[in-house]
């Protein structure tokens, strides 16, 4: 059979990695795919010193590549919503298949993109958009297709996990580690995407759609960053047998879907609590399979290229299929997506870690316990830390059972109104993940 | 489209789970697959009290089911090499697709089965044959298809892992935990398949073929059980920062493929070292993606059914494909399998934990170190344990760097010949898995 011709748009980190993997492993890939896969053309404004391009043609005009009639598969590795979106939509209009690593584009414009692709009978593959080299889209969309998925929970931003790992292992402050991550090139120059959870929310939005068969709804995701985490909380959590991770959680309930990214206490004996540094991991809980976990590098040139190239091979396999009998973009047939709503954060149900600063005098604990009890909140444990603070204040740590967030909001407001409590109550959600 | 008709052969644990998952999740599965999947007939000698069969016809004649012209996909859940093999071969001859959970059948007769299937243009899917509900076949065969796979290492027998976990956590003896595992129904009545590593070797054989593109060669796998492990070694390993796991390791080297199942020391900070109880996990290291890990339930009715049903859905998708453009059974095109040999165990390269019982007098350590040094074996560390034994003997623990096993065999023979050393040298292989 004639080789399949690929056009790569963007020759940055992931684009360069994709070119290099396709070239280095060409023989191994052809042994699997049953035909050769060749890079026909590259669109890039700047060359990548990591790539020996040989006689592969390079154009600065990405739309010339998208319109190149020799190319079967357009690989979009530009990023962002601007040119990338135009490239993908024009490739689809041209009847070409698309592979992309662009989580922001899929999370925000995926519904429109998949609709156009289905109408043209082409595939838009996006394994690389979530958790880099971990084949989590494939696991969730195909490997666990027998299951009613109960929940998905993931460490899906490597920079955030690097920061939390350093804070725990070395007692370093958030700002200190963030500065190092930026120097190491892990974090974006504007770190908000990483540390405010926006990047993780993009990925979680995609996972939730595939898990539950709902349209992509990035605008409904609740996002809370790790910027206010202190080493005190990291240490208190540790003393209680927990690790703090920046987790994306999507859970199906009776009334809707929880879609939330926030710092989370996880019992230290859970495998995912031990995923450290820049590594990613995603747990998926299905009704038949129970809990499963997928771990690997969530970013970087070649790990991400691993997913891009796997998608290219998948697309090659579907070149001879009935478009109506392929794996649907969002795992479920487009005409059978569910209208299960994404719940506002006030309606999520979770357990909580609370840190209070209380006057060290009798009766405070009773008042706090009464406030919680009146709102149906069960206390799992209370630890009064040794008094170390000024002004007679002692830190008091509570772990609660699961409760609707609105109840907890009411309880916290009431606790903060107590005379014996100083300053705001620190609240971190707790997930058991079992 | 007309529903796809499935025939289930065997209604034991996995057969019952498969029927129940197909029934309970019928709507969710149809939303994914794009068409209904129905159980047309069941072949079983005994009914399963966990299943409400309703009006699903049951026959005691499994070949009547295999010959039923209404059935598109034969699901073989009988187990073993006898009837199961006849069922699979006759289903193929009838032009039917097959889904099986039978690792022994695939590991031992897979080459013949896949050849027949390819000639008839049908698929034989076997995700459930390795690590139960973990979609590891799919991850390795498709998700990591861009990679040159360097190695695979897995905890792929839940019973063995349960025993090792109990030995470590509770200091219990091997025989004691095995008896409990049998009482709990984890272990087979004849536990040799579990604790001697045969079951793990079946699964590893399958993983190695898919990873490296070699024919199935179960007869070449090196298999060492956990029956001789003592709590002493578990504790010494722990003191050195390692856990002992019963690991299947398949590694590609310059000269061939290592294919081996044996007790293994793993650094305690590796995720896989923290996989406990009956759970399974498989690590895959690819040249592009680096290390990855896949974790979940490796056995049980519904976890295994999760994989069986995912395979059924995969087969449904390929009903409209060109048979020459499907994912090959062993990941690589049948005409491009490699003749890279499976290495005899004497040629594998690994690091070692050695436990010696030495007379507590000067010079013993120097003699041992000299023996190792003369064979090019570097010592990573030596720990002389506190003398606790009779006859003036003290246990001495050595960790070595990597060396060819034959060199280590020679060294151990020389050490055992020393007058100062009593009894055999205990040797456990060590893998870093990074």
Contact of A295 with chain B, judged by CB distance below 8 Å, is answered with yes
Q: Which of B70-74, B113-117, B191-195, B377-381 has the lowest mean pLDDT?
A: B191-195
Number of inter-chain CB pairs under 8 A, A vs B: 228
Q: b/e string for B358-368 if b means 16 or more Cβ within 10 A?
A: bbeeeebeeeb
CATH assignment of the domain containing B177: 3.30.360.10
CB distance B127–A143 less than 8 Å? Answer: yes
Q: For residue B303, give the nearest of A288, A306, A310 by CB distance.
A: A288
pLDDT above 70 (res B387): no
Residue A188, annotated ligand binder? yes
Measure the N-to-C terminal CA separation of chain A; round to a whole number of Å: 48
- My answer on whether A270 and A390 are in the same domain is no
Residue with the bigger pLDDT between A390 and B18: it is B18
Contact of A370 with chain B, judged by CB distance below 8 Å, is answered with no
The 10s digit of each residue's pLDDT in A148-200 is 999 999 999 999 999 999 999 999 999 999 999 888 877 766 788 999 999 99
Contact of A213 with chain B, judged by CB distance below 8 Å, is answered with yes
Query: Which residues in chain A have Cβ-Cβ distances shorter than 8 Å to B320?
Result: 321-322, 325
CB distance A32–B328 less than 8 Å? Answer: yes
pLDDT above 80 (res A390): no
Q: For residue A133, give the nearest of B28, B292, B322 by CB distance.
A: B292
The 10s digit of each residue's pLDDT in A240-258 is 999 999 999 999 999 999 9
The 10s digit of each residue's pLDDT in A32-45 is 999 999 999 999 99
> What pLDDT does residue B185 have?
79
Is residue A229 situated within a structural domain? Answer: yes
> What pLDDT does residue A185 have?
79
Q: In terms of CA atoms, which chain A residue is nearest residue B274?
A: A271
Contacts of B299 (CB under 8 A, 6+ apart): B132, B158, B278, B280
Residue A252 to residue A211: CA distance in whole angstroms: 9
pLDDT above 80 (res B391): no
**Residue A300 CB neighbours (<10 A):** 20
Smallest CA-to-CA distance from B312 within B15, B33, B25, B28 is with B33
| CB-facing half-sphere around the CA of A267: CA atoms within 13 A | 7
- The whole domain housing A216 covers 136-297
Q: b/e string for B96-112 if b means 16 or more Cβ within 10 A?
A: bbbbbbbbbbbbbbbbe
pLDDT-based confidence at residue B388 (cuts at 50, 70, 90): low
Contact of A415 with chain B, judged by CB distance below 8 Å, is answered with no
Say whether B203 is catalytic.
Answer: yes
Is residue A222 situated within a structural domain? Answer: yes
pLDDT-based confidence at residue A322 (cuts at 50, 70, 90): confident
User: ∠ CA B111-B115-B117 to the nearest 5 degrees?
Assistant: 120
Within A56-181, strands assigned E span 58-59, 73-76, 97-100, 124-125, 149-155
Residue B17, annotated ligand binder? no
- My answer on whether A175 and A262 are in the same domain is yes
- My answer on whether A183 and A331 are in the same domain is no
Average pLDDT over residues B233-256: 96
DSSP string, B17-69: HHHHHHHHTHHHHHHHHSS-EEEEEEE-SS--TT---TT--EES-HHHHHT-T
Q: In terms of CA atoms, which chain B residue is nearest residue A274?
A: B271
DSSP string, B113-146: HHHHHHHHT--EE-GGGSSTTS-HHHIIIIITTT
Q: Looking at CA atoms only, how far is residue B149 from chain A in angstroms?
A: 10
Q: Looking at CA atoms only, how far is residue A29 from chain B in angstroms?
A: 6
The 10s digit of each residue's pLDDT in B4-59 is 999 999 999 999 999 999 999 999 999 999 999 999 999 999 999 999 999 999 99
Residue A309 to residue B363: CA distance in whole angstroms: 58
Q: b/e string for A200-237 if b means 16 or more Cβ within 10 A?
A: bbbbbbbbbbbbbbbebbbebbbbbbbeebeeebbebb
Is residue B216 within 8 A of residue B106, CB to CB? The reply is: yes
Give the residues across from B6 on adjacent strands: B39, B73
Strand (E) or helix (H) holding A344: none
- My answer on whether B289 and B141 are in the same domain is yes
- My answer on whether A125 and A27 are in the same domain is yes
Length of chain B in residues, anyone? 434
pLDDT above 80 (res A130): yes
Contacts of A429 (CB under 8 A, 6+ apart): A262, A263, A264, A265, A350, A351, A352, A353
The 10s digit of each residue's pLDDT in A327-367 is 999 999 999 999 999 999 999 999 999 999 998 888 899 99
Q: Which of B336, B358, B393 is the C-terminal boundary of a domain?
A: B336
Smallest CA-to-CA distance from A222 within A238, A208, A236 is with A208
Is residue A344 situated within a structural domain? Answer: no
pLDDT above 70 (res B189): no
Smallest CA-to-CA distance from A99 within A321, A314, A301, A333 is with A314
Smallest CA-to-CA distance from A54 within A69, A38, A66 is with A38
Residue B219 to residue B111: CA distance in whole angstroms: 13
CB distance B25–A288 less than 8 Å? Answer: yes
> What pLDDT does residue A27 have?
97
> What pLDDT does residue B297 have?
97
Where helices occur in A171-322 by DSSP H, the ranges are 174-184, 192-195, 198-212, 231-239, 301-318
Is residue B341 situated within a structural domain? Answer: no
Q: b/e string for A175-185 if b means 16 or more Cβ within 10 A?
A: eebbeebbeee
pLDDT above 90 (res A54): yes
Query: Which residues in chain B have Cβ-Cβ distances shorter than 8 Å to A310?
Result: 142-146
Residue B175 to residue A265: CA distance in whole angstroms: 38
The 10s digit of each residue's pLDDT in B366-375 is 999 999 999 9
CATH assignment of the domain containing A19: 3.40.50.720
A242 burial type by CB count under 10 A (0-12 exposed, 13-18 middle, 19+ buried): buried
Is residue B336 within 8 A of residue A31, CB to CB? The reply is: yes
> What pLDDT does residue A119 have?
97
Q: b/e string for A342-365 if b means 16 or more Cβ within 10 A?
A: bbebeebebbbbbbbbbbeeeebe
> What pLDDT does residue A206 have?
98
Is residue A341 situated within a structural domain? Answer: no
Residue A9, annotated ligand binder? yes
Contacts of B346 (CB under 8 A, 6+ apart): B404, B405, B406, B409
> What pLDDT does residue B217 have?
98
CB distance A146–B325 less than 8 Å? Answer: no
DSSP string, B170-237: H---HHHHHHHHHHHT-S-SSTHHHHTSHHHHHHHHHHHHHHHT----GGG-EE--STT--HHHHHHH
- My answer on whether B89 and B214 are in the same domain is no
pLDDT above 80 (res A387): no
**Largest Cα span, chain B:** 82
In the structure encoding, which two tokens stand for residue A408, read together? 């907890």
- My answer on whether A250 and A374 are in the same domain is no
Annotated catalytic residue, options B138, B203, B220, B245: B203
- My answer on whether A34 and A159 are in the same domain is no
Pairing label, strands B242-252, B149-155 = antiparallel
Mean pLDDT over the full length of chain B: 95
> What pLDDT does residue B362 have?
83
> What pLDDT does residue B245 have?
98
> What pLDDT does residue B360 have?
84
- My answer on whether B170 and B249 are in the same domain is yes
Is residue B297 within 8 A of residue B280, CB to CB? The reply is: yes
> What pLDDT does residue B119 have?
97
CATH assignment of the domain containing A365: 3.30.70.260
Residue A379 to residue A383: CA distance in whole angstroms: 11
pLDDT above 70 (res A52): yes
**What three-state secondary structure class fits A390?**
coil
Is residue B370 situated within a structural domain? Answer: yes
Contacts of A34 (CB under 8 A, 6+ apart): A1, B324, B325, B328, B333
Is residue B213 within 8 A of residue A27, CB to CB? The reply is: no
CB distance A135–B147 less than 8 Å? Answer: no
Query: Which residues in chain B have Cβ-Cβ distances shorter than 8 Å to A134?
Result: 292
Residue B54, annotated ligand binder? no
Q: How far is CA A305 from CA A96, A432, B433, in A?
A: 20, 33, 22
Residue A406 to residue A282: CA distance in whole angstroms: 27
**Residues B100, B104, B105, B106, CA torsion sign:** positive
Is residue B146 situated within a structural domain? Answer: yes
- My answer on whether B113 and B146 are in the same domain is no
- My answer on whether A245 and A215 are in the same domain is yes
- My answer on whether B18 and B34 are in the same domain is yes
> What pLDDT does residue A388 have?
65
Is residue A285 within 8 A of residue A291, CB to CB? The reply is: yes
Radius of gyration of chain B, Cα coordinates, nearest whole angstrom? 24
Is residue B342 situated within a structural domain? Answer: no
CB distance B292–A296 less than 8 Å? Answer: yes
CB distance B274–A275 less than 8 Å? Answer: no
Is residue A4 within 8 A of residue A314, CB to CB? The reply is: no
A341 DSSP assignment: P
pLDDT above 90 (res B156): yes
pLDDT-based confidence at residue B389 (cuts at 50, 70, 90): low
pLDDT above 70 (res A75): yes
CB distance A289–B296 less than 8 Å? Answer: yes
Residue A11 to residue A39: CA distance in whole angstroms: 12
Number of structural domains found in chain A: 3
């Amino acid at each position: 059979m004639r080789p399949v011709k690929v056009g790569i748009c963007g020759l940055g980190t992931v684009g360069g990695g994709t070119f290099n993997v396709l070239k280095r492993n060409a023989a191994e890939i052809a042994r699997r795919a049953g035909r050769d896969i060749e890079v026909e053309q590259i669109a890039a404004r700047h060359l990548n010193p990591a790539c020996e391009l040989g006689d592969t043609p390079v154009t600065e005009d990405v739309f010339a590549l998208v319109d190149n009639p020799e190319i079967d598969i357009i690989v979009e590795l530009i990023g962002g919503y601007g040119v990338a979106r135009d490239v993908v939509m024009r490739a689809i209009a041209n009847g070409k298949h698309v592979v992309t690593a662009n989580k922001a584009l899929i999370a925000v414009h995926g519904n429109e993109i998949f609709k156009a692709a289905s109408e043209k009978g082409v595939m838009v593959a996006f394994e690389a958009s979530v958790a880099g080299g971990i084949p989590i889209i494939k696991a969730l969309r195909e490997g666990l297709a027998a299951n009613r998925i109960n929940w998905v929970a993931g460490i899906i931003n490597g920079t955030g996990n690097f920061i939390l790992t350093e804070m725990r292992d070395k007692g370093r402050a958030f700002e200190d580690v963030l500065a190092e991550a930026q120097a190491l090139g892990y974090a974006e120059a504007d770190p908000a995407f990483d540390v405010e959870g926006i990047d993780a929310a993009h990925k979680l939005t995609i996972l939730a759609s595939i898990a539950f068969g709902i349209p992509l709804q990035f605008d409904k995701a609740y996002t809370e960053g790790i910027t206010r985490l202190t080493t005190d909380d990291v240490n208190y959590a540790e003393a209680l047998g927990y690790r703090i991770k920046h987790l994306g959680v999507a859970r199906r309930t009776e009334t809707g879907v929880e879609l939330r990214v926030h710092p989370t206490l996880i019992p230290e004996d859970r495998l995912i609590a031990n995923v450290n540094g820049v590594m990613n991991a995603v747990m998926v809980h299905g009704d038949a399979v129970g809990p499963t976990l997928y771990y690997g590098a969530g970013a970087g040139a070649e790990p991400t290229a691993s997913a891009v190239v796997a998608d290219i091979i998948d697309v090659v396999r579907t070149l001879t299929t009935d478009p109506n009998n392929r794996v649907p973009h969002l795992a479920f047939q487009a005409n059978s997506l569910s209208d299960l709503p994404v719940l506002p954060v006030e309606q999520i149900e979770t357990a909580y870690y609370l840190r209070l600063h209380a006057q060290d005098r009798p009766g405070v604990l009773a008042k706090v316990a009464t406030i919680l009890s009146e709102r149906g909140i069960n206390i799992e444990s209370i630890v009064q830390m040794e008094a170390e603070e000024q002004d007679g204040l002692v830190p008091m740590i509570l772990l609660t059972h699961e409760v609707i967030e609105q109840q907890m909001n009411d309880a916290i407001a009431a606790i903060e109104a107590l005379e014996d409590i100083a300053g705001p109550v620190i609240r971190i959600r707790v997930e058991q993940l079992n």
